[in-house]
């Protein structure tokens, strides 16, 4: 049974940092590409960042480029989202996801291509 469990969310002030983690189980971690999405109340789920199966390629949305960093640790079956210089507009529920579709690529922003999802972790940035 595939399971993705996020952690690391919380309340932070503008300009602060958080690191989200997603632990994967029940699958062969190295054969999947991974990503983070977010969803604010009343809005559609939005792509944030992705990393390909070997960790060599990453892709970010314009809104988080140069502030967020996605990474993965194969020994721990875990991937991360380091979020710096947080803004109130980053407030959302953040979801980790994994896909077998084109795993060698990072530039896959559509949620429809992702097979497995976590339950999400809330990030709130106060102004």
Asked if 63 and 2 touch (Cβ cutoff 8 Å), the reply is no
Which of 109, 94, 99 has the alpha carbon at shortest distance from 18? 94
Asked if 22 and 4 touch (Cβ cutoff 8 Å), the reply is yes
Supply the pLDDT for residue 95. Answer: 98
User: Across the chain, where does the E strand assignment appear?
Assistant: 3-7, 10-13, 18-25, 33-39, 46-51, 58-60, 68-73, 78-83, 92-99, 116-117, 121-126
Low-confidence ranges of the chain (pLDDT < 70): none
Give the pair of three-digit tokens for residue 124.
Answer: 């709130």
Lookup result for tokens 């429809």 = 112
Rounded Cα gap, residues 80 and 74, in angstroms:
11
Give the pair of three-digit tokens for residue 45.
Answer: 């789920």
Supply the pLDDT for residue 59. Answer: 98
């Amino acid at each position: 049974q595939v399971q993705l469990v996020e952690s690391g969310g919380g309340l932070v002030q503008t300009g602060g940092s958080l690191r989200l983690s997603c632990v994967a189980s029940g699958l062969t971690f190295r054969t999947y590409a991974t990503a983070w999405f977010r969803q604010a109340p009343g809005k559609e789920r939005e792509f944030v960042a992705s990393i390909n199966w070997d960790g060599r390629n990453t892709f970010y949305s314009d809104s988080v480029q140069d502030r967020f960093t996605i990474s993965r640790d194969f020994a721990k079956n875990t991937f991360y989202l380091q979020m710096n210089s947080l803004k109130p507009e980053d407030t959302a529920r953040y979801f980790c996801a994994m896909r077998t579709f084109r795993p060698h690529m990072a530039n896959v922003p559509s949620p429809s291509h992702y097979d497995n999802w976590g339950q999400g972790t809330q990030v709130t940035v106060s102004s």
